[in-house]
């Protein structure tokens, strides 16, 4: 994906050109990327963009400027909700131009008329309006700093730290949350004074104003009542919409690739694209014998497609560690850095990557239960055999307190040993979640709040937004699950109709019957198994402690102790900069790492995250000016 920024300076004496050149240079992560800075009639305003030169469609998609309006865009616009004469621009992948046309037609409400996984910054010379816009599912990150020196939007966190627009300071509470829960929540970032902009938000800065005006233009409740049609008719609608969405994706300019994990999401995406005539070769991560690799290979054989395999390897992680920490903005476990092997292999060969990302939220279990043991505790509480506990189904959580407690129960909790790492106590997760629920979700009707919460906040929104799927090695990534019509149709299904793979099985059987009977890697059962058979198998696996899928075949503990990885981490944790970080107690972390090397199985996830955060700090914070420009 390309990178974008846009800013307005508020304090006289700051050098706009210098700040813009620094931001553009830092957004350009790799040698195959190019950069441009767009000047405006206002001396204090600049926009900038970085695009991938190896992708033919990327440059024209990423920025546009005419006599009065300039726009930079990351991601892509699939279509407009209302006519604004943008059809030709979108057909030729000129997405930033399409956004300008929508702005000319609809004014400041233009963001609500655009569909697709995008974020953009737009400036109008005539009224001085600077707009940062996120689309309604916030699949593409946009970070925002709004302070006395100026307002700045950026698609990456690190360049903001080095911009010189403000003093870059790490948020120790966010570090604690990241180490304790493996991702951040709500609007959190690793930096103080920088927020991740909410979905469906337009932030407006005007000359002379010292803060942005924040408007939310959509939430689930605004789409009207639930569809009361019979389940079979709803599935017909979903299937028709999936085919239409697939047509829009495969017609996008550029060479296609596709990820295929063997799960239901990627299987559906790959199968639909092949059915609609797209040409591509799927790829899979997996070690020999891994169940997901076996299933992915069987899907490719069934469809008559080639199949590329990338074997996960701990030895490759140190090679890609710095790039991966940068792409993830310091968030997430470093153990997935081996995935950049795939990026380098496909660079220059693929423009657009098809994936099944986020499909599970739409068609799968919208209601996540806490597991077999918790369900038994809940029933025992209902029977008054022991104290009551929260419901194992989120749909039974009818108020904010229950919803936040539910996710606290789901979330990985910081162990007492982590407290010794921290210089600032970790904020209670329940408090953070209740804050999110009382914010942009407050106006959402209860029957829609579950879906919106699950989408934007409950799963660790920050980590999912900037995962490896949204890396900057390619022009873009694409999925039918990014299509608004698909999502709306799927969310119209009742939660009970989405449990136990019921909706998935119905869609697969209708559209891709040859794939519906193939094994699903996560269960070892045919993909069209639903209901009681699936539940019985799940309970059997839980009671016996067996796990079917091996998820690529890597073991986080063994990987951290692999010779090259262990040496890499040991050198890093013994470095003076690591030990002297003001946001943690480096000596305690290094001591726990030594215990891990001696066989202690605890704190593996936390140690991976600590390494990622340190690499992010070395790339961005250690090179920062530490003050204003």
Three-state secondary-structure class, residue 367: coil
Contact 75, 83 (CB under 8 A): no
Q: Which residues of 451-469 are buried (b: 16+ CB within 10 A; e: fewer)?
A: bbbbbbbbbbbbbbbbbbb
Round to whole Å and give the CA distance between 29 and 328: 12
Q: Write out the two tokens for 288.
A: 């020999």
487 φ, ψ to 5°? -65, -40
Q: What single string gives the DSSP state of each residue in 297-363?
A: HHHHHHHT---EEE---GGGHHHHHHHHHHHTTT-S-GGGGGGHHHHHHHTTT-SEEE--TTHHHHH
DSSP code, position 93: T
Q: Which H helix or E strand runs over 96?
A: helix 95-106
Give the strand pairing for 118-124 and 69-75: antiparallel
Three-state secondary-structure class, residue 616: helix
Would you say the C-alpha torsion 484, 485, 486, 491 has a positive or negative sign? positive
Residue 309: strand pairing partners: 284
- The CA-atom distances, in angstroms, between 269 and each of 236, 250, 413 are 17, 11, 34
Domains in the chain: ranges and CATH: 3-219 (3.60.20.10), 222-365+467-552 (3.40.50.620), 372-460 (no CATH), 555-621 (no CATH)
Q: What single string gives the DSSP state of each residue in 550-607?
A: -GGG--HHHHHTSHHHHHHHHHHHTSHHHHH-TTB-HHHHHHHHHHHHTT--TTHHHH
Round to whole Å and give the CA distance between 167 and 429: 27
Round to whole Å and give the CA distance between 491 and 246: 18
Q: Closest Cα to residue 452, out of 441, 466, 465, 464? A: 441
- Series of mean pLDDT values for 10-residue runs along the chain (629 residues): 92 94 94 92 95 84 93 93 91 93 95 93 96 88 95 95 94 89 83 92 95 89 77 95 94 89 90 95 87 91 95 90 88 86 87 85 68 76 85 69 73 69 81 72 70 63 54 84 89 81 91 91 76 71 60 75 95 96 95 94 90 94 56
Q: What is the mean pLDDT of the chain?
A: 86
pTM: 0.92
| pLDDT at residue 313 in the model | 87
Contact 161, 621 (CB under 8 A): yes
Contact 260, 300 (CB under 8 A): yes
Would you say the C-alpha torsion 558, 560, 563, 564 has a positive or negative sign? positive
| pLDDT at residue 625 in the model | 44
Contact 325, 612 (CB under 8 A): yes
| pLDDT at residue 465 in the model | 52
Residue 195: strand pairing partners: 144
Contact 615, 1 (CB under 8 A): no
Round to whole Å and give the CA distance between 325 and 296: 28
pLDDT in tens, 492-526: 888 788 877 889 989 999 999 999 999 887 777 78
| 3-state secondary structure string across 171-233 | CHHHHHHHHHHCCCCCCCCCECCCEECCCCEEEEECCCCCCCEEEECCCHHHHCCCCCCCHHH
Contact 625, 164 (CB under 8 A): yes
Tell me how many helices (H) and strands (E) the chain has: 28, 21
Contact 226, 492 (CB under 8 A): yes
Round to whole Å and give the CA distance between 549 and 68: 55
Q: Hunting for tokens 């929104």 — which residue is that?
A: 461
Q: Closest Cα to residue 380, out of 372, 370, 389? A: 389
| pLDDT at residue 343 in the model | 87
Our CA dihedral for 395, 399, 403, 408, rounded to 10 degrees, sits at -150
142 φ, ψ to 5°? -140, 115
Q: Closest Cα to residue 307, out of 280, 329, 330, 343? A: 280
């Amino acid at each position: 994906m390309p990178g974008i920024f846009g800013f307005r300076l508020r304090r006289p004496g700051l050098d706009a050109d210098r700040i813009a050149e620094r931001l553009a240079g830092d957004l350009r992560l790799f040698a195959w990327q190019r950069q441009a800075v767009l000047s405006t009639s206002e001396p204090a305003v600049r926009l900038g963009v970085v695009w991938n030169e190896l992708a033919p469609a990327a440059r024209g998609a990423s920025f546009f400027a005419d006599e009065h309006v300039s726009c930079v865009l990351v991601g892509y616009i699939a279509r407009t909700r209302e006519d604004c004469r943008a059809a030709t621009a979108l057909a030729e992948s000129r997405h930033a131009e399409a956004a300008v046309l929508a702005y000319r037609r609809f004014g400041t409400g233009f963001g609500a008329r655009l569909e697709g996984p995008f974020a953009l910054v737009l400036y109008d010379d005539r009224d001085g309006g600077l707009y940062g816009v996120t689309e309604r599912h916030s699949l593409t990150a946009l970070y925002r700093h709004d302070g006395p020196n100026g307002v700045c939007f950026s698609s990456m966190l690190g360049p903001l730290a080095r911009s010189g627009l403000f003093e870059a300071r790490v948020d120790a509470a966010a570090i604690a949350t990241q180490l304790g829960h493996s991702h951040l929540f709500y609007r959190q970032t690793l930096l103080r004074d920088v927020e991740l902009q909410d979905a469906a938000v337009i932030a407006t800065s005007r000359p002379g104003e010292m803060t942005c005006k924040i408007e939310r233009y959509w939430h689930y409740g605004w789409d009207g009542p639930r569809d009361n049609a019979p389940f079979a008719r709803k599935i017909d609608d979903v299937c028709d919409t999936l085919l239409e969405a697939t047509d829009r994706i495969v017609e996008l300019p550029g060479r296609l690739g596709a990820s295929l994990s063997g799960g239901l999401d990627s299987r559906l995406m790959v199968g639909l694209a092949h059915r609609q005539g797209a040409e591509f070769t799927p790829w899979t991560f997996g070690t020999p014998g891994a169940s997901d690799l076996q299933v992915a290979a069987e899907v490719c054989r069934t469809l008559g497609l080639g199949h590329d395999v990338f074997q996960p390897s701990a030895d490759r992680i140190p090679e890609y560690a710095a790039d991966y920490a940068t792409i993830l903005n310091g968030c997430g476990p470093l153990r997935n850095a081996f995935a950049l092997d795939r990026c380098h292999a496909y660079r220059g060969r693929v423009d657009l990557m098809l994936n099944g990302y986020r499909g599970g939220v739409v068609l799968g279990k919208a209601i996540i239960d806490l597991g077999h043991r918790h369900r038994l505790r809940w029933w025992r509480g209902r029977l008054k055999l022991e104290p009551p506990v929260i419901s194992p189904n989120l749909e039974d959580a009818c108020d904010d307190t229950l919803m936040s407690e539910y996710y606290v129960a789901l979330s990985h909790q910081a162990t007492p040993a982590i407290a010794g790492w921290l210089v600032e106590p970790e904020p209670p997760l329940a408090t953070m979640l209740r804050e999110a629920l009382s914010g942009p979700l407050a106006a959402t009707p209860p029957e829609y709040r579950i879906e919106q919460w699950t989408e934007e906040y409950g799963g660790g929104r920050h980590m999912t937004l900037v995962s490896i799927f949204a890396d900057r090695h390619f022009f873009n990534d694409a999925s039918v699950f990014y299509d608004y019509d698909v999502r709306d149709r799927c969310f119209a299904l009742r939660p009970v109709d989405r449990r136990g793979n019921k909706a998935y099985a119905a869609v697969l059987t209708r559209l891709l019957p040859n794939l519906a009977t193939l094994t699903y890697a996560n269960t070892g059962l045919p993909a069209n198994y639903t209901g009681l058979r699936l539940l019985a198998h799940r309970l059997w696996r839980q009671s016996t402690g067996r796990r079917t899928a091996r998820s690529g075949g890597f073991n986080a503990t063994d990987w951290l102790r692999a010779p090259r990885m262990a040496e890499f981490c040991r050198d890093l944790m013994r470095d003076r900069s690591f030990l002297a970080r003001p946001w943690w107690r480096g000596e305690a972390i290094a001591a726990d790492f030594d215990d891990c090397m001696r066989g202690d199985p605890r704190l593996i996830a936390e140690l991976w995250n600590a390494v990622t955060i340190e690499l992010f700090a070395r790339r961005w914070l250690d090179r920062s000016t530490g003050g204003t420009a």
